[in-house]
Structure formats: structure tokens, C-alpha cells
Structure 1
Amino acid sequence: MKLLKSWYLILVLALPSLFAFATQTLTGTINLIMVGDLGFVVIAVVGVSNIIMYNVFAIFSGIGHSVNYLVAQNFGAKEMRKGMQRTYLALIVSLAVALFIALAGWIGSDAVLKLTGGSEKLLATGNAYLELRFYAMSFGIISFVFHGFFRGVGNTRISMVVSIVANVLMIVLTYGLTYGHWGLPELGIIGAGYAILIGEAVQLVICLIVFWGPMHRRFQTREIQKPDWLELKLISRESGKLGLQEFSMSVSMYIFTIFVLTLGDLAAAANEVALSVMSFGFMPAFAFGSTATILVGQEIGQGKPRQAKLAGTNTAILGTIFLIALGTAELIWAEPIARLYSDDPGVYELAAYLITVSAYLQIFDGFYNFYAGGLRGIGDTTFLMRSSFVLSLFMFVPLTYLFVMVLDWGSIGAWLALYSFLIALGLAVMIRYYRTDFNSVRLKQAQA
């Protein structure tokens, strides 16, 4: 009975996060399908821009991740005054970061796109689109801090609703602005960029309304706490470690994309289609990983180390069940799914092959997310940073170079390198989780 209650609590927290991440993933998928009619060069542009934005987000995502686990610990310990103080400090940092991202997009989006080594046609088509994506990210990085707070206090439903509203708006505007429907101008791929920008801006506005509105009754969110510079130091340090963890993975994916681009625009398009489909596997991995952070962090805050470790284990079990079911569906319907993105036989046949190969291997990506979420909950951010950095740059990148550039294994070589890396990372994080003595874990505190 106790196990069923535990699983029920996990699902109550995880399913809204799952729907939120599903909406984000589905939005990217639908948008890619909609712009796919503009040709495979446009598909490649969107794919390359996604990788670039993933890197930008990863560098600064640690701000939201740190708020998530710190607030979860404060919530469990009934110290929400400190949790609010940490949230406002994180918002100040994220505002400064947002201004930097917007400036970087305005000045250097064309230079960043050139670094990918894509064709002249890809560069000419994607420059303005990428600039708009930078502006959209400046809003998104602030919203991510609010989502970290919402999840930290266990209110994943609000996070879900905000994500659904913003992403549905992006889909509607992408269709209207790309092809000129509903009286909107026909802007092509530029319209798709404006759709994402408007959607992210609206999401931030909704987050502000929820945070200062309904959330105020319980957490006094409109009462700005006196800044504590030691807490600011803690936020900066934890954000830096978690940001480096994500960035080392994202920059290795960026290099991975550069290697794939050497295979031609068709291979790049097929790679983007396969990554888009496989992102449906990342979706439950992220959702259950976020749930592990919430539950483990809150149990640690309540001084219950044994329950904290068990919560992480149960979350991983349920998440793995979801991934097995999803991988089976992807394995059976790989080609029909790939055809939704493109009617070019070269694109959908190669994409379907890549999807088939990785259908069950994505379980190891799940292990990484589940147990990394648990380790974030106890504040073991240093190990996450080091393992991600070492395996990304000293295993994944060299293997991709070896398989693609030296052995000339093409797209399948690139994906074998990707999943070799994910298997190693998933196992490393899982072993760390079970070798950690949770009885020695203490609440994360600012130190002089």
C-alpha cells in the first residue's frame, strides 16, 4: 500500500511535467513539420538553430535548475522565506543574462551560424531566423526560473498550464505567419521565428501574473526579501556548476551537428528529423528527472534521507516503464513517423533507420536524467558537472570524429557515438546515486 501511495505521488507530480515537456516537444515537432514544406534546407536551418539555442539555454539553465532544488529543500524544511529570497536573487541574475543573450543575438547571430560550417544557402536562409531565436531565448531563460520555483514547491500543474498556453500560441502563430493564414502576413521561416518570440514573451507575462497573483497568498511572493550576498554567491556557484553540466553536453551536441553537416544537407535534415522524434523519449526522462529533484529535495528538507533515496528509485522505475513503452512504439512505426516530417525518400528512410537503432537505447538517457535529478535534489552538483564535462568532451566528441570523419560510417556512426556516450553517462550517474550515503546529506547552505 505504501508503495502504491509513493507511485501515486510520483505520477501526480510527474504527469503534469510530462504534459508540459510533451507540449514543448510537440510544438517543436509540429513547427518542424509545418516549415518542412519549405524544403529540406529550411529543415536543416531549424535543426541547426535548435542546437545553437540548446547551447545558449544550457549555459544559463543552471539558474533555473538551482532554484528548483534549493526551493524544494526550503519547502520541505518549511523555510520558504529563504526560498523566496533565493528565487528573487535568481531572477535578478536571469534578467542580466537575458539582456546579454539579446545583445549577442543582435550583434553576432550571423557569425554564430557561420561557425556551423553549413552551406551558403543554409547561412543565407537562417540568419534572420536565428536572430529572432536569440531574442526569444532572452524571455525563455527568465521564465525557466519561475518554472523552477513552481516545481520546487510541488506545483507542477501551474507549470504545465503555462507551458501549454504558450506553446499552443506558438503553433498557431507559426502556421499563420509562415504561410499567411487568418489575415496574417506570409513571412516564411521568418514568421516561424516571430511565432516563437511572441510565444516566449507571453509565457513570461503569464509566469509573472501567476507568481505575483495566486502564489502570493501562500508564499508572499510580492514581498521582496533583503538581498543576502552569501546567498547570491551560492546561487551563482550552483548555477555555474549546473550550467557547465548542461553546456558540456550541449556543446558536444553542437560539435556532433557540425560533423553531421559535413555529410550534406540531406543527412543534416534526416538527423534533425530523428532527433525530433527521439525528443519524445527525452520528454518522460526530463519529466521524471524533475520529479526526482522535487521529491528528493523535499524529503531531504524534512530530514528523511531514507525516504529521499527511495523516492529517487521509485521515480526511476516508473520513468523507465514509460520509456520502454515509447521505444516500442517508435520501433514499430519508425518510417510512418519519419514520413510526417518530409516526403523526400532520402530524408525519411535515413531518419527511420536512425530512429529504429535508438528506440531502446534512449533508456540510458532516461537513467541519466532520473538519477541526475535525484543527485540535484541532494545538492551533489559537483559530480554532475565533472561527469558530464569529462564524458562529453573526452568521449563523445572524439568518438563522433572517429566514427564519422575517420571510419566514414556516416549518420549511423554519429548516432553510435551519441548512444555510447549516453550509456556511459547514464551508468555513471546511477552508480553515483546508489553509492551516496544519504544519511550524511545536509541542506545546502550559503557559506562565507
Structure 2
Amino acid sequence: MKLLKSWYGILILALPSLFAFATQTLTGTVNLILVGDLGFVVIAVVGVSNIIMYNVFAIFSGIGHSVNYLVAQNFGAKEMGKGMQRMYLALLVSVGVGVVIALAGWLASGAVLNLTGGSDNLVETGGGYLELRFYAMSFGIISFVFHGFFRGVGDTRTSMIVSIVANVLMVALTYGLTYGHWGLPDLGIIGAGYALLIGEAVQLAICLAVFWGPMHKRYQTRKLQKPDWRELKLISRESGKLGLQEFSMSVSMYIFTIFVLTLGEMATAANEVALSVMSFGFMPAFAFGSTATILVGQEIGQGRPRLAKMAGTNTAILGTIFLICLGTAELIWAVPIAKLYSDDPGVYELAAHLIQVSAYLQIFDGFYNFYAGGLRGIGDTTFLMRSSFVLSLFLFVPLTYLFVTVFDWGSIGAWLALYSFLVALGLAVMIRYYRTDFNEVRMKEAHG
């Protein structure tokens, strides 16, 4: 009975996060399908831009991740005054970062796209679209801090609602602005970029309204706390470590994309389709990983290490069940799923093969996310940074080069390298989790 009660509590937190991530994933999928009629070069542009934006997000995502676990610990310890202090300092940092991202988009979008090594046609087609993606990310990185706070206090439902509203708007605007429906201008791929920019701006506005509106009564969100610059140092340090963790993985994915680009635009399009489909596997992985951070962090804040460790384990079990079910569906229906994106046989046949290869291997990506979420909850950010950095740059990148260039295994070789990396990383993080003595874990505090 206790186990069922625990699983119910996990699902109450995880399912809204799952729906939120599902909405984001579905938005990316539908948008890719919508622009797919513009040709495989446009599919490749969107795919390359997604990887670039993943890198930009990864560099600064540590701000939201650190707020998530720090606020979860403060919430569990009933120290929300300190939690609000940390939240406002993180917002200050994220606004500065947003300005830097917007400037980068304005000044260097074309140069960044050139660095991918894509064809002149790809660069010419995608320059303006990528610039708009940079502007959208400048809003998105600030919104991510708000989502980190919402989840930290266990309010995953609010995070879900905000995500659904923003992403439905993005899909509708992509349809309207890409092809000129509903009286909107026909802007092609540039219209898809504007759709994401407007959606991200609206999402940030909703986050602000919720944070300063309904949440004020419970958490005094409009009351500015006296800044403690030691806390700013803590947030910067933790954000840096978590950002480097994500960035090392995203850089390796960027290099992975460069290798795939050498195989031609059709292979790049098939790769993007497969990544889009497999992102449905990332969805429960992220959702249950985020839930592990919340539950473990809150239990640590309440001084209950045994329950904290058990919460992480139960979350991982439920998340794995979700991934097994999803992998089975992807294995059986890989071809019809791939055909939703493109009617080009060269694209959908290769994409379907990549999907089938990945169907059950994605469980190891789940292990990484579940147990990394638990380690974030106890503040073990140094290990996450080091393991991600070492395995990304010294295993994943060399294997991709070896399998794609030396052995000439094409797209299949690239994906075998990807999942060799994810298996190693997932196992490393899981072993670290169970070898950690939770009785020795303490809440993360700022020091001079």
C-alpha cells in the first residue's frame, strides 16, 4: 500500500510535467511536419537550427536547473524566504543572459550557420530563420527559470498549463505564417521563426503574470528580498556546473550533426526526422527526471535521506515502464510514423531504420535523466558536470568520427555512437546514485 501511495504521488507530479514536455515535443514535431512541404532542405535547416538552439539553451540552462533544486530544498525545509531570494537573483542573471543571446542572434546568425559546414543553399535558406530562433531563445531562457521555480515548489500543473498555452499558439502561428492561412502573410520558413518568437514572448508574459499574481499570496513573490551576494555566487557556481553538464552534451550533438551533414542533405533530413520521433522518448525521461529532482530535493530539505533515495528509485522505475511502452510502439510503427514527416522514400526509410535501432536503447537515456534528476536533488552537480564532459568529448565524439568517417557506416554508425555514449552515461549516473550515502547529504548553502 505504501508503494502504491508513493507511486501515486510521483505520478501526480510527473504527469503534468510529462504533458508539458509532450506539448513541447509535439510542437516541434508538428512544426517540422508543417514546414516539411517546403522541401528537405528546409527540414535540414530546421534540424540544424534545433541543434544550434539546443547548444545555446544548454549553456545557460543551469540557471533554471539550479533554481529548481535549490527552491525544492528550501520548500521542503520551509525556508521560502531564502527560496525567493535565490529566485530573484537567478532572474537577474537570466535577463542579462537573454540580452546576450539576442545580440548574438542579431550579429552572428549567419556566421554560426556557416560553422555547421552545410551547403550554401542551406545557409542561404536558414539565416533569417536562425536569427529569429535566437530572439525566441532570449525569452525562453528566462521562462525556464520560472518553470524551475514552479516545479521546485511542486506546482507542476501551472508549468504544464503555461507550456500548453504557449506551444498551441506556436503551432497555430506556424501553420498561419508559413503558408498564409487565416489572413496572415505567407512568409515561408521565416514565418515559422516568427511563430516561435511570438510564442516564447507570450509564454514569458504568462509566467510573469502567474508568478506575481496568484503565487504572491502563498510565497510573497512581489516582496523583494534583501540580496545576499553569497547566494549569487552559489547560483552562479551551480548554474555553471549544470550548464557545462548540458553544454558538453549539446556540443557533442552539434559535432554529431556536422558529421551527419557530410552524408548529404537527405541523410540530414532523415536524421532530423528520427531525432524528432525519438524526442518522444526524451519526453518521459525529462518529466520523471524533473520529478526526481523535486521529490529528492524536498525530502532532503525535510531531513529525510532514506525517503529521498527511495523517491528517486521509485521515480526511475515508473519512468522506465513508460519508456518500454513507448519503445515498443516506435519499433512496431516506425515506418508509418516516419512517413508523417516526409513522403520522400529516401528520407522516411532511413529515418524508420534509425527509429527502430533506438526503440529500446533510449531506456539508457532514461536512466541518465532519472538518476541525474536525483543527483541534482541532493546537489551533486560536480559529478554530473564531470561525467557528462568526459564521456561527451572523449567517448561520443571519437566514436562518431570512427563509425561515420573511418568505418563509413553512414547514419547508422552515427546513431550507434550516440547510443554507446548514452549507455555509458546512463550506467555511470545510476551507479553514482546508488553508491552515494544519502545520510551524509546536507542542504546546499552559500558560503563566503
Q: How far did residue 298 of structure 1 move?
A: 0.1
Shift of 1:207: 0.0
* Structure 2 letter corresponding to 1:360: Y
1:122 corresponds to which residue? 122
CA distance in 2, matches of 1:3, 1:237: 37
Aligned to 1:414: 414
Structure 1 counterpart of 2:273: 273
Superposed displacement of residue 104, structure 1: 0.3
1:363 lines up with 2:401 in the alignment: no
Q: Counterparts in 2 of 1:181-220, with a 5 A limit?
A: 181-220=181-220
Report the alpha carbon displacement of residue 94 of structure 1 after superposing the two structures with TM: 0.1
Return the offset for 1:231.
0.2
CA distance in 1, matches of 2:321, 2:289: 14
Alignment partner, residue 321 of structure 1 = 321
| Secondary structure in structure 2 of the residue aligned to 1:214 | coil
Pairing 1:58-73 to 2, within 5 Å after superposition: 58-73=58-73
Name the counterpart of 2:96: 96
User: Following the alignment from structure 1 to structure 2, what is the Cα–Cα distance between the partners of residues 16 and 217?
Assistant: 23
Residue aligning to 1:340: 340
RMSD: 0.2
Q: Distance in 2 between the 1:215 and 1:141 partners?
A: 21
* Paired-residue identity, %: 88
Alpha-carbon deviation of 1:140?
0.1
Displacement of 1:404: 0.3
Q: 1:353 maps to which residue?
A: 353
Could you tell me which amino acid in structure 2 is paired with residue 313 of structure 1?
Answer: T
Residue identity matched to 1:223: K
Query: What is the rounded CA distance, in whole Å, between the counterparts of 1:6 and 1:42 in structure 2?
Result: 46
1:390 paired residue number: 390
Provide the C-alpha distance between the structure 2 equivalents of 1:173 and 1:224, rounded to a whole number of angstroms: 36
In 1, Cα distance between equivalents of 2:384 and 2:149 = 21
Alignment match, 2:226: 226
> Does 2:2 match 1:32?
no
Tell me, in whole angstroms, the C-alpha distance in 1 between the residues paired with 2:10 and 2:251.
Answer: 32
What letter corresponds to residue 313 of structure 2 in structure 1?
T
Runs of 4+ more than 3 Å apart: none
Q: Name the counterpart of 1:148.
A: 148
| Structure 1 unaligned residues grouped into runs of 5+ | none
Paired positions, count? 448
Q: Deviations over 1:203-255 (max 9, x none)?
A: 00000000000000100000010111000000000000000000000000000
Matched AA of 2:79: E
How far residue 107 of structure 1 moved from its aligned partner, in angstroms, is: 0.2
Return the offset for 1:196. 0.1
1:137 shift after superposition: 0.1
* Alignment match, 1:253: 253
The alpha carbon displacement at 1:359 in A equals: 0.2
Counterpart code for 2:104: A
Aligned mates of 2:65, 2:45 — CA distance in 1 = 29
Q: Equivalents in 2 of 1:265, 1:47: separation in Å?
A: 11
Q: Distance in 1 between matches of 2:115 and 2:227?
A: 40
Partner of 2:297: 297
Structure-1 separation of matches of 2:438 and 2:94 = 31
Separation (CA, whole Å) in 2 of partners of 1:332 and 1:406:
32
The residue type equivalent to 2:323 in the other structure is L
Shift of 1:62: 0.0
Structure 1 letter corresponding to 2:392: S
What are the superposed Cα offsets for residues 262-306 of structure 1, whole Å, 9 maximum, x if unpaired?
000000000000000000000000000000000000000000000
Distance in 2 between the 1:96 and 1:113 partners? 24
CA displacement at 1:385 relative to structure 2: 0.1
Report the TM-score when normalising by structure 1. 1.00
Which amino acid counterpart does residue 52 of structure 1 have in structure 2?
Answer: I
Structure 2 distance, partners of 1:432, 1:141, is: 29
Task: Report what 2:160 is aligned to.
Answer: 160
TM-score, L = length of structure 2: 1.00
